[in-house]
Amino acid sequence: MKKALTIAGSDSSGGAGIQADLKTFSAHGIFGMSVITAVTAQNTQGVFAVQDISREMIAAQIKAIFEDIEVDGLKIGMVSQISSIEVIAESLKNYSPQNVVLDPVMVSKSGYHLLNPEAEETLIRKLLPLATVVTPNIPEAEVMTKMSIRNLPQMEAAAKIIRQMGAKNVLLKGGHLEDDSIDILYNGQGFEYYASKRIVTKNTHGTGCTLSSAITSNLALGYSLDEAVSRAKEYISAAIEHSLEIGKGVGPTHHFYELYKKAGMMN
Ligand SMILES: Nc1ncnc2c1ncn2[C@@H]1O[C@H](COP(=O)(O)OP(=O)(O)O)[C@@H](O)[C@H]1O
Ligand SMILES: Cc1ncc(COP(=O)(O)O)c(N)n1
């Protein structure tokens, strides 16, 4: 069985973060493991409190996993402080992990700063070079490039700038634009485009986490990056289409092993 690790924050309401990642890994038939960087008290309506895990504890979790178990895919999600980012970068250097997907989580859908703005530059400098692919949404790409992104040509220009910052590949997600949702992948030579119909729903809590852990799962299963992104896009579209009316606010995506298996997407 393939094994994947998520280094991210815990979402008490189960829609995003570590919880979304582990559900996604399971739906792909992957054994999921976690390094928790922060515990959040959140639900479908907002984030109410965050407690960061100490750098010693983050390092100890990473060591415990890599010293014992082979990691076929690694996803990095919410990391809130400079010290946490630094310890992750230092710890991972010892293990040279393959198939690293970096989701540069900055602000939650409900507007809470999950990444301390002072740590943005450290995230770019320390974590981007470790990434096989980085998956910013439009507001994150705007912070990284300091440019305004309103259309496809601006997305392409931003993807080129972000790749120059050190990631091997950039998947810039178009979910925040108004038209159909197009994500673009830039590998330094050319672009791939992944379009999907915009699904009309308010329930998109955890879409970014779900997409990045689905890419990680498919890379761990041995698919090329292009195939991994295509399959992950099918997964997230179905997960949004079947999203759940849970809670009073922005409900979560749905993770469904059985439907996925029927669609012939299981290995
Ligand atoms: N309403 C929607 N319909 C279809 N796909 C969507 C919708 N919202 C987001 N997506 C897709 O979900 C993934 C996550 O997108 P996005 O919302 O941009 O990221 P984030 O959760 O990081 O803000 C992307 O592949 C995006 O294209
Ligand atoms: C622990 C954690 N990690 C990531 C997100 C981002 O998810 P979203 O952008 O859907 O709010 C979140 N809300 N909580």
Is residue 73 in some structural domain? Answer: yes
Ligand 1 neighbour 236 (Cβ under 6 A): yes
Q: What's the pLDDT at 198?
A: 87
pTM for this structure? Answer: 0.96
Residues with catalytic annotation? Answer: 173, 204, 206-209
Q: What's the pLDDT at 256?
A: 75
Residue 224 Cα distances to 5, 70, 199, 240, angstroms: 19, 20, 27, 24
Is residue 61 in some structural domain? Answer: yes
> How far does residue 38's CA lie from ligand 1's centre (Å)?
24
Residue of 181, 196, 229 to mutate, ligand 1, most atoms within 8 A of C-beta: 181
CA torsion, ordered 65, 101, 222, 225, to nearest 10 deg: -170
Is residue 146 in some structural domain? Answer: yes
Q: From atom 16 of ligand 1, which residue's Cα is the shortest distance away?
A: 175
Is residue 78 in some structural domain? Answer: yes
Q: What's the pLDDT at 181?
A: 75
Residue environment code for 38-55, b if the CB has 16+ CB neighbours within 10 A, otherwise e: bbbebbbeebeebebbeb
Q: In what order do the strands lie in the sheet with 46-52?
A: 46-52, 31-43, 3-11, 73-76, 100-102, 133-134, 169-172, 181-186, 191-196
Is residue 267 in some structural domain? Answer: no
> How far does residue 156's CA lie from ligand 2's centre (Å)?
25
Residue 63 belongs to domain with CATH number: 3.40.1190.20
Q: What's the pLDDT at 261?
A: 64
Is residue 129 in some structural domain? Answer: yes
Q: What's the pLDDT at 38?
A: 98
**Per-residue confidence of the chain (267 residues) as pLDDT tens digits?**
999 999 999 999 999 999 999 999 999 999 999 999 999 999 999 999 999 999 999 999 999 999 999 999 999 999 999 999 999 999 999 999 999 999 999 998 888 999 999 999 999 999 999 999 999 999 999 999 999 999 999 999 999 999 999 999 999 999 888 777 799 999 999 999 999 888 889 999 999 999 999 999 999 999 999 999 999 999 999 999 988 999 999 999 998 766 666 666 655
Ligand 2 neighbour 136 (Cβ under 6 A): no
CA dihedral over 256, 252, 10, 235, signed as positive or negative: positive
At residue 122, what are phi and psi to the nearest 5 degrees? -65, -40
How many structural domains does the chain have? Answer: 1
| Domain housing 124 | 3-262
Structural contact between residues 2 and 32, judged by C-beta atoms closer than 8 angstroms:
no
